[in-house]
Amino acid sequence: MRAWIVAVAAVVAAPVALAQPKVTAEIGAPYIPDGLQLRLTEECRIESSGSAPDAHLRCTPGLGWRLHDAATGEVVYPVQGYLPRDLEWAFAGPGAVTFLAQRQVSIVRLPSGETTELGPGDIEQYRDAEGLPFKAVVWTLPRNAGQPTTVFLLRPDGTLSDSIDADMRRVDYTRGLGCREAAVLAAIGAENLPNSTWSKIVRLSAAEEGRNLCDTVGHDRLAGLGSDGSWRRLDPKSFKAIGSGSFATADDALKAQ
């Protein structure tokens, strides 16, 4: 019995040594601008039972993300510390990025690293949308019940628009439903904003009072007036033309199957 106890004690006291942090994931273009790279770094340690040679490298989530220069590997942001592992981002070109981490929104100017903290909020990115005057919609959540959300547009030059009037409470905050991009565009009335592709956009809304936009926006119909004077049906998620058909009037486009 005593020998068994000694053996167990030896296993419990197995040597553990810290190892260099390890980059376990890298993200580059087209998800972030050329020349930049996001790297996920994890904490590592070396474990051994004490009888060589059976050492193992164990890496566990613990540090987080950093933005690096893709060519030199130098850290761009943050110079000290890491961004949380649970991270979302929206770039406005190489000069500015909005981060969402632990439900907190911040805007970072690059390469200076100057940061503006917006507080609790959310973002929705529109990297490939057609003609929109922004790269992302950024909104802060009310701190008290009954207060409105504050909504900004992140422009391609990295600046924020003035706040716009939009009821983001009607947007479903659950990710992965496939309707969220369209719901945010409907909530901010993006069809009424200047568009570099469509000189006019008309929306036939299926919204119902009291219902979440994600329940109805899939039934919205949109039509855009192109530079050739014809109307096209538009995808409510991206404002891209659906199919190759063109129509003489907005009504014809909205009614098209």
Residue with tokens 């904003």: 193
pLDDT 10s digits, 54-84: 677 777 777 899 999 999 999 999 988 899 9
Q: What DSSP string describes 86-115?
A: SEEEEEBTBTEEEEEETTEEEEEETTT--E
- Compute the mean pLDDT over every residue in the chain, rounded to the nearest whole number: 83
CB 233 within 8 A of CB 241: yes
In the chain, what percentage of residues exceed pLDDT 90? 37
Question: How many CB atoms lie under 10 A from the CB of residue 87?
Answer: 15
Give one word for 123, left, alpha or beta, with left for phi > 0 and alpha for psi -120 to 50: beta
Residue with tokens 């296993």: 11
Q: Are strands 231-234 and 87-91 parallel, antiparallel or unpaired?
A: unpaired
pLDDT 10s digits, 86-142: 888 988 888 889 999 888 999 998 888 889 888 888 999 998 889 999 999 999 887
Bigger pLDDT: 125 vs 148? 125
pLDDT 10s digits, 80-100: 889 998 888 988 888 889 999
Q: Given a cut of 70, is residue 6 above it in pLDDT?
A: no
Token pair for 107 = 């805007």
Burial profile 54-68: b = 16 or more Cβ within 10 angstroms, e = fewer: eeeeeeeeebbbbbb
Question: How many CB atoms lie under 10 A from the CB of residue 33?
Answer: 17
Q: What is the pLDDT of residue 172?
A: 66
